[in-house]
Amino acid sequence: MISTERSQSQSPRSSMAAGAPFLTISVTDPVKMGTGVQAYISYRVITKTNLPEFEGQEKIVIRRYSDFEWLHDRLAEKYKGIFIPPLPEKNAVEKFRFSKEFIELRRQALDLFVNRIASHPELKQSEDFRIFLQADEEKMDRARSYETGIFKKPADFLQMFKDVQSKVSDVILGKEKPVEESTPEYEKLQNYIFELENHLAEAQKQAFRLVKRHKELGQSLADFGKAIKLLGACEGDSLEKVFSEVGSKSEMLSVKLQREADNLLFHFEEPLKDYVRAVQSIKATMVDRANAFRQHFDLDQERKYKELNLYVSHFAFTHFWLCAKDFQLTRKFEANVFTFQDIPNNSCGLRSL
C-alpha cells in the first residue's frame, strides 16, 4: 500500500482548530492526457489554506511536470543561495514513462517538493509559488512557455559567454584555478558534499539493483514452482503430492518476493534517491555561489583594467596636450623672434619724417 503520509506539512485538524496559519498541499490523481508521443501525465494540486496571501480557503488546479519544473527554475533564479527542494528526474525511458510504479513515484516526489517549499520560511513567500498554486491553467501555460522561451536565453548566453571567455583566458594565460574563494572550512564542506554524493549514489544504485534482483528471483521461483509441479504430475502417487507442495510453496514465495520488491522500491530506494537529489541541489547552490563569486571577481578585474586604462589614457592625453601646447608656444616664440628682428629696419623708416 502506498501511503501518502509524507504529504502533510502540518496536521490541518489541529491548526484549523487553533486558528493558526496553515498551508496544506497535496498532489494527487495522476491522469494520462493526450495520446502518442505528446501524451503526458497531469496531476491535481489541492491547496488548503487560511493565509491571507492566497485567494480563498481551497483551490484545486491541474498541473503537469513541466509546470513543476518552471516553479523550480524560477525559485532557483530568484532565491540564489537557498537549497531548493529537488525535483524528480525529468527524462524517463520511454518504456517506463507510463508504468504504474513510475507514475506513483513521481507523484510522491512532486508532493514532497511542493510541501517542502511550503515549509520553507523564505520560499513559501515566493510570488511564483502562489501563481503555481492558484493560477488557472491558461495563465500557467502562458507563464510556462513565456519563461522557457527565448527571453531567458540572452542573459544566459551572455553569462555563458563570459564564463567561457574567462576560462579561455585562464587557460591561455596559464592562470591557476583558484578563482574560487576558499576558506579551509568551506573547502572541507565542499569535499564533504562531493564525496557524500558519491557514496549516496553508490548506495542508491545498489538499492535499485536489489529491487531488480528481488523481482528476478520472484519470477524464477514462480517458473521453477510451475515446472516442479508439472514434473510431479509425471510421477504420480505420493511423490506427486510432494512435488506439488514444493511447487505451490515456490509460487507463494514468488508472490511475497514481488511484494518485497515493491516495498523496497518505495520505502528504501526512493528515499535514498531523494537524498541523492537533495545533495545534488546543494551542489547546485554551491555552483551558483562559485559562479557569483567568479562574476564578482571578473567584474572586479574589469574594473581594475578600466581604471588602469583610464589613468594611462588620461596621462597620455595630458602629455599630448602638453606637447601640443608646447609646439604652439614654440611657433609663437619663433614668430615673435622673427618680428623683433625686423624692428631695426622698420624703425629707419620712421626717422626720415
| Residues contributing to the site for another protein (CB under 8 A) | 5-6, 9, 85, 112, 115-116, 119, 192, 195-196, 199-200, 202-203, 205-207, 209-210, 212-214, 216-217, 219-221, 223-224, 226-228, 230-231, 233-235, 239, 242-243, 246, 249, 278
**Min separation Cβ 98 and another protein, Å:** 27
Q: Which is closer to another protein, CB of 144 or CB of 281? A: 281
Residue closer to another protein (CB basis): 31 or 230: 230
- Pick 140 or 222: Cβ nearer another protein: 222
Give the shortest CB-89-to-another protein separation in angstroms: 19
User: Least CB distance from residue 67 to another protein, whole Å?
Assistant: 20
Q: Looking at the DSSP assignment, which residues form a beta bridge with residue 31?
A: 42
Provide the minimum distance between the beta carbon of 123 and another protein in the complex, in angstroms, as a whole number.
Answer: 13
Q: What is the DSSP string of 67-89?
A: HHHHHHHHHHHHTTTS-PPPPPP
φ, ψ (nearest 5 deg) of residue 27: -105, 115
User: How many residues are given for the chain?
Assistant: 353
Single out the residue of 102, 49, 148, 79 nearest to residue 262, CA to CA.
Answer: 102
Closest distance of CB 273 from another protein, Å: 14
Q: What is the C-alpha to C-alpha distance for residues 253 and 231, in angstroms, rounded to an integer?
A: 19
Nearest CB to another protein, comparing residues 241 and 303: 241
Nearer to another protein, 27 or 140 (CB): 27
Sheet holding 58-64: strands in order across? 23-33, 40-49, 58-64
* Cβ proximity to another protein, 107 vs 144, nearer residue: 107
Residue with cell 503430492: 241
| First-to-last C-alpha distance (Å) of the chain | 134
Q: How far is the CB of 78 from another protein (least distance, A)?
A: 20
**Grid coordinates standing for 84?**
531548493
* Cβ distance to another protein smaller for residue 224 or 293: 224
- Of the two residues 30 and 86, which places its CB atom closer to another protein in the complex? 86
Rounded to the nearest 10 degrees, what angle do helices 137-147 and 65-78 cross at? 60
**Residue 35 near residue 60 (C-beta atoms within 8 A):** no
Shortest CB 195 distance to another protein, Å = 6
Closest approach, Cβ 253 to another protein, in A, equals 9
Question: DSSP letter at 56?
Answer: S
Residue 298 has a CB neighbour count (10 Å cut-off) of: 16
**Which three-class secondary structure string do you get for 174-207?**
CCCCCCCCCCHHHHHHHHHHHHHHHHHHHHHHHH
Q: How far is the CB of 112 from another protein (least distance, A)?
A: 6
Per the CB < 8 A criterion, the answer to whether 269 and 207 are in contact is yes
Query: Is the CB of 94 or the CB of 185 nearer to another protein?
Result: 185
Compute CA distances 25 → 17, 44, 79, whole Å. 18, 10, 21
